[in-house]
Amino acid sequence: MGKEISDETVGVVLGELTFDAQGLVPAIAQQHDTGEVLTLAWMNRDAIAETLKTGQTCYWSRSRKKLWRKGESSGQVQRLVEFRYDCDNDAVLLMVDQKGVACHTGRRTCFFRAVRGGKVETIAEVLVDPKTLYRS
């Protein structure tokens, strides 16, 4: 991120953003140099503040109902390159540098199902065995 983000700027961002009834906004993560869309996840206020302050993406896990520091168990972290949001202030775009693979299936991106040639296909290969990602 270069210069550290001040509490004042974090406050400006949180003040401009609009959160849904669950206190969340959808957040797209995009690899900053290749443009590949990696994930769509959700952030609450705390996740946004932590992401801006630490420079590492932190989401809100809707299934586990807690902050989810991307890569905390798999090591596949996302370094924040730039934090952006949209005209309606209700969606976030995180330009990131993804280490390894973004998807829990071991693929680079979560968006690996596609309609091609009139049929649904899997268009990305598994690069890392998920068992090696989540061994404890």
Residues that bind a second copy (CB under 8 A): 1-6, 9, 12-13, 16, 26, 28, 30, 34-37, 39-40, 52, 82-89, 91, 93, 103-105, 107, 110-120, 123
**Which residue lies nearer to a second copy by CB, 116 or 129?**
116
The least CB distance from residue 54 to a second copy, in Å, is: 13
CB of 84 to a second copy, least distance (A): 4
Given the DSSP bridges, would you call strands 113-116 and 119-122 parallel, antiparallel or unpaired?
antiparallel
CB of 60 to a second copy, least distance (A): 15
Nearer to a second copy, 67 or 81 (CB): 81
Q: How far is the CB of 47 from a second copy (least distance, A)?
A: 15
Q: How far apart are CA 80 and CA 96, in angstroms?
A: 5
* 87 backbone φψ class: left, alpha, beta (φ>0; ψ -120 to 50): alpha
CA distances to 31, 90, 93, 115 from 110, in Å: 12, 22, 16, 15
